[in-house]
Structures are given as C-alpha cells and as structure tokens.
Amino acid sequence: MSGDGAETFRRSTAEAYDGHVGRYGSELAVALIGLAGVGGGDRVLDVGCGTGLLTAELAAVVGADRVAAVDPSEPFVEACRLRVPGADVRLAAAEDLPFADATFDAALSQLVVNFMGDAEAGVSQMARVTRPGGTVAACVWDYAGGMTLLRTFWDAAVALDPAAAPLDEGASMRHCQPDSLRALWESAGLRDIEGAQLTPSVRYASFEELWAPFTTGVAPSGAYTVSLDDDGRRALREEFHRRLGSPDGPFVLTARAWAVVGRR
C-alpha cells in the first residue's frame, strides 16, 4: 500500500478522518499505551499522529510537554496541534525522524506502518530515537478479518466490482498479521517482542453516520468510494448496509487491531 493510501491523508480534513476510522482511535490508543507500559515521567513520541488521537491519550498520561508527534500530512499536523496544545508536533515522516538518538523512553505508532513508504526504515528510526531499554510499539488493523467496518466495506465492494480486489486492504496491506509485524520489529533489532490484539468498538447512531465519511474520499476505502459514479456509489452503500445487517437505528461495531511491542 503506502503511496496512494498515504496520499489521501494529505488531502483530507481532520473532521473526515475523525468521523471515519478515527472514531476507534481513542479507545485503541488507551489500549496501546497500556500495552507499551507508558507511565508518568516518560518522554514519548507518536509517529504518524494523524489528527492526534493517540497524542492526546499520551498527553493525558505523561503531560503534553513530554509528548512529541510527527505526521507528513499538513492538515493533520495542524489538527493535532489544536487537539494537544503544548505537545511538540512536527511535519515529518517516520523514515526521517527529526530527533536525536535515544531522545524518548517510548515511541508509539497507531495504524501507520502500512502507510509508510519504507516501513523497515520507519521502524528503525523509531528504534533509533528510543533510549536503550526503551519501548517501541505499534498496532495495525486486522484488515483481513476482525476490523468489521473495513472488512465489510471491502467485501461489499469486491462483490459488486471484482476488479476492486487488489484495493482490498486485507490484500494490499503488507503488515496486517502478527507474524509480519514481529518480523518488522526483528528487522529493526528490537528484542523481547510481544504481540497482542486490541478490540475497540464504536456505537453508531445510524448507518448514515457510518457512511458519510466514506464519501469524503478519506483513507483507501474513501478514495475507492469517490472513484465510483453515482450509481456505483449507491449500489455500494446498499450492499454495505445489507452486509452489516440492514441497521435502521443505532448499532455497535467491534474492530480488531494487531499490536506489537519490543524493547530497544
């Protein structure tokens, strides 16, 4: 994936992201922070901070002045600065982190490694800026299985349009299984590597609330949605709705992310 998927985030508004998968972000962040063992007094980095959902939860634990964050999307960096005043938020990519070696006690990254142009380089940089003995942790969606929102979306899309199969994030994302994440952590020289699954859930007021962000073009799923003509988009909406059990009121979806944590 990387290229095109990452590009959608440079053109997106923070509101579109926060209404889409961002709805899962705060609960996911709390679980990732717990897994990484971040505690008061730590100095921490959020890599690929997006609109700042993980950054804000890190700041709640260690204080904003002990949090740094980077993202290559200008609108997202701006949104993160507004969300977490006092944090050091910079426009930068994982592959070229603008920090000295061993600056942080922990470097975390939520739902980002698949969007890095060079994930091996990005994770190696996360290790470089973490002190010896410090923690490097990340999570990615289980696109192929337990991330119900995106799994159901792509199942609907491919059922209607088999040519969309290569765009299915369950197929296109390189790191969406525990083994691959572990191998990525090993490639960065990290040790004491452990995996976990994180299962945030979201309550939607209506199907329309779930669907609207897809029509903004945010993320690979949104980019596919806006590439369709009106009839195609209408058919996708109906098939997606049907596959979610045709909800006509509030409903809850659970997601699964694979997480990995290792020590520098």
Ligand X SMILES: C[S@@+](CC[C@H](N)C(=O)[O-])C[C@H]1O[C@@H](n2cnc3c(N)ncnc32)[C@H](O)[C@@H]1O
Contact residues toward ligand X (CB under 6 A) are: 6, 9, 22, 25, 47-50, 53-54, 71-73, 76, 93-95, 110-112, 115-117, 122
Interatomic CA distance for residues 162 and 142, integer angstroms: 21
For the CB of residue 91, give the shortest distance to ligand X in the complex, in Å.
10
Contacts of 237 (CB under 8 A, 6+ apart): 211
3-state SS class at 85: coil
Nearer to ligand X, 2 or 215 (CB): 2
For the CB of residue 238, give the shortest distance to ligand X in the complex, in Å.
26
Asked if residue 264 lies in contact with residue 190, where contact means CB atoms within 8 angstroms, the answer is yes
For the CB of residue 45, give the shortest distance to ligand X in the complex, in Å.
11
Task: Please state whether beta strands 201-204 and 104-110 pair in parallel, antiparallel, or not at all (unpaired).
Answer: unpaired
Nearer to ligand X, 122 or 134 (CB): 122
For the CB of residue 174, give the shortest distance to ligand X in the complex, in Å.
13
The amino acid present at 49, given as its one-letter code, is C
Nearer to ligand X, 225 or 241 (CB): 225
Asked if residue 185 lies in contact with residue 136, where contact means CB atoms within 8 angstroms, the answer is yes
Nearer to ligand X, 62 or 119 (CB): 119
Nearer to ligand X, 46 or 241 (CB): 46
Tokens, residue 68: 């740094």
For the CB of residue 37, give the shortest distance to ligand X in the complex, in Å.
19
Answer left, alpha or beta for residue 22, where phi above 0 means left and psi between -120 and 50 means alpha.
alpha
Nearer to ligand X, 141 or 241 (CB): 141
Q: Which residues make beta-bridge pairs with 196?
A: 259
Q: Which residues make beta-bridge pairs with 262?
A: 136
Interatomic CA distance for residues 78 and 163, integer angstroms: 36
3-state SS class at 39: coil
The amino acid present at 132, given as its one-letter code, is P
Nearer to ligand X, 41 or 145 (CB): 145
For the CB of residue 248, give the shortest distance to ligand X in the complex, in Å.
29
- Closest residue to ligand X using C-beta atoms: 50
For the CB of residue 237, give the shortest distance to ligand X in the complex, in Å.
22
The amino acid present at 197, given as its one-letter code, is Q
Q: What are phi and psi of 191, to 5 degrees?
A: -130, 175
